[in-house]
Amino acid sequence: MTVTIHDLRSWKSAGQRWAMLTAYDFPTAQILDRAGVPVLLVGDSVGRNVLGYANELPVTMEEMLHHTRAVARGVEHAMVVGDMPFMSFQASIEDGIRNAGRLVKFDLVHRLVDIGIPVMAHIGLTPQSVYGLGGYRVQGRGEAAAKVLDQAHALEKAGAFSIVLEAMPADLGAEIATELQIPTIGIGAGSGTDAQVLVINDLLGLNEKVPKFAKAYTDLRQTITTAVERFVADVETGAFPDEEHTYS
């Protein structure tokens, strides 16, 4: 059975915590889906984690569509959420509606919800606004907390079905989760949110550097390096292919 928006709401009501992970390709999506991850996010973080960009800003709508389609083909049960990349909605509400429709500002959220496109909102550190925010910095400290809280309430009122809270003090994340009726998904927002999300490359230890809020659960970068070094050595010595891996 496919996970729905109603499931997320019922989990919040029941106090049931859940996990979300990013996915950018078919095999990863298939693995995560079969492992029981209920929500997969095809984030514009694909720019830094897959496409080799310095940040999320160069990611195009066509690239997001390409990766979202691949992930959607790999799942049977998980909900798939696709990011709208930089400048796919900032130019006008009409552009936002057109681009969001291809994938499946408060005014935009309201309009999308009105025409039946579910919206997962995002506040706090929003990578698409990284230059305007002065870099990758914690948001909502001190007097700025009230503004972030107001944004959360406004997005809920506009009709967002859930909201990602990124890089903010833990007490603010917990406060937002308590005050909102919609599910909150934290990434660097403390343990008081309804759900937690991580970038899959960080979780697997593929990236050389991991943010403070992320946890590497394995060192896949070293595992891959070791496997490749063994293959190269076997080829150089003639040990591969051996009889077991050769047709007669």
Higher model confidence: residue 207 or residue 99?
207
- Model confidence pLDDT, tens digit, residues 152-185: 999 999 999 999 999 999 999 999 999 999 999 9
Within 10 angstroms of residue 93's Cβ, the number of other Cβ atoms is: 15
Q: Tokens 């936002």 sit at which residue? A: 96
pLDDT in tens, 83-107: 988 666 544 556 645 554 444 454 5
Predicted TM-score of the model (pTM): 0.89
Quote the CA–CA distance of 117 and 81 in Å, as a whole number: 11
Q: Which residues are catalytic?
A: 166
Query: Residue 54 to residues 45, 46, 62, 162: CA-CA distances in angstroms?
Result: 10, 11, 18, 28
Contact by Cβ (8 Å): 96, 88: yes
In this predicted structure, the answer to whether residue 143 has a pLDDT above a threshold of 70 is yes
Q: Which of 54-58, 70-74, 90-94, 100-104 has the lowest mean pLDDT?
A: 100-104
